[in-house]
Amino acid sequence: MIRIGIMIEGQEGLTWARWRRVAEVVDTLGFESLWRSDHLFSLFDVPDRPGLDTWASLAVLAMLTRRIRFGPLVCPITFHHPSLLARQAAAVDELSGGRLELGVGAGWHDREHQAFGISYPPVGERIRRLDEAVRVIRALWQDGPAQFAGRYYRLDGAVGWPKPVQRPRIPVIIGGKGPRVLEVVAKHADEWNCGGSRPPADVRAKAEILVAACGKIGRDPKTIRRSWMGAFLIGENGAALERRARKIQEVLPRWRSTPAAALPAALRKEGWLVGSPEEIVGQIRDLNAEGMERYMLQFFDQEDLDALHLLAREVVMRVT
């Protein structure tokens, strides 16, 4: 079954008013889920852009919505001690009646860590920390005192409260595409999120690496759900695409030198889903043929609620 959600870059101009509006639209129009990034400042070099704390916004989302699933995509383990992350996730899961999914990753944006004085170990250590962190988180979601003795984290009789509503546990989504991260996905993930890959060839290549990693440890790769995160640009016709392309140029400075009329084709080459509703339906089905079941579509122009209405009416209704 194909499921379609919306993903917001929470550091790129997100305010409480915008978050409420987007949440209401996503919850009422038939989208499956709503996601947000976990970053501390603009990744597009616009330092005066507002943003919202990830876990505060997820707690509010638990109260604002009634139907959709939601979560962070993804929490860098460099930002969060897993013992505390486990408790935050369980609390928001209870608050939402069991609709949270926890996305975690190894962390990747070095300048962000440097700016905020957060340790940024070499990639190998970050991936090893991610491996241990998932085990710590799940240990604290279980009943009884937790024990864990790892290289980076320890538990000695810790008890996590509250407990998640979802049983046997909150689903854990691990995002990443590198071979070492995919080994962690094979060991621990309920869902693998393949973000930013150019569909469908890149997705196929990364999926083959995951299947091989599962084979090494004897896990059936079919037990890991697959999702794709990427951006979209939708329009009923060429004029509508060009109009929305101009707004994308305001959000994403790297595209400002590209003529707006040429931008849809350029974004498609970068892996965006681009075109009329019919064309985007076809692109989603191409990804589905590669095993992608869930789509977290990046919504950059947070004021363009008409794009969400069009997506829901002409795309979601056709593929779900």
The H or E element that residue 126 is part of is helix 123-141
Residue 176 gets the label, from left (phi > 0), alpha (psi -120 to 50) or beta, of left
When divided into structural domains, the chain yields a total of: 1
* Residue matched to tokens 């008890």: 159
Which residues constitute the domain of residue 271? 3-319
Rg (CA), the chain: 19
Distance between the two ends of the chain, CA-based, in angstroms? 7
CATH code for position 166 = 3.20.20.30
**pLDDT of amino acid 73:** 97
**pLDDT of amino acid 195:** 81
Strand partners, 149: 154
Residue 248: what are its φ and ψ, rounded to 5°? Answer: -60, -35
CB neighbour list of residue 212: distance below 8 Å, 6 or more residues apart: none
**pLDDT of amino acid 87:** 98
Written as tens digits, the pLDDT of the chain (320 aa) is: 899 999 999 999 999 999 999 999 999 999 999 999 999 999 999 999 999 999 999 999 999 999 999 999 999 999 999 999 999 999 999 999 999 999 999 999 999 999 999 999 999 999 999 999 999 999 999 999 999 999 999 999 999 999 999 999 999 999 999 999 999 999 999 999 998 767 788 899 999 999 999 999 999 999 999 999 999 999 999 999 999 999 999 999 999 999 999 999 999 999 999 999 999 999 999 999 999 999 999 999 999 999 999 999 999 999 98
**pLDDT of amino acid 320:** 86
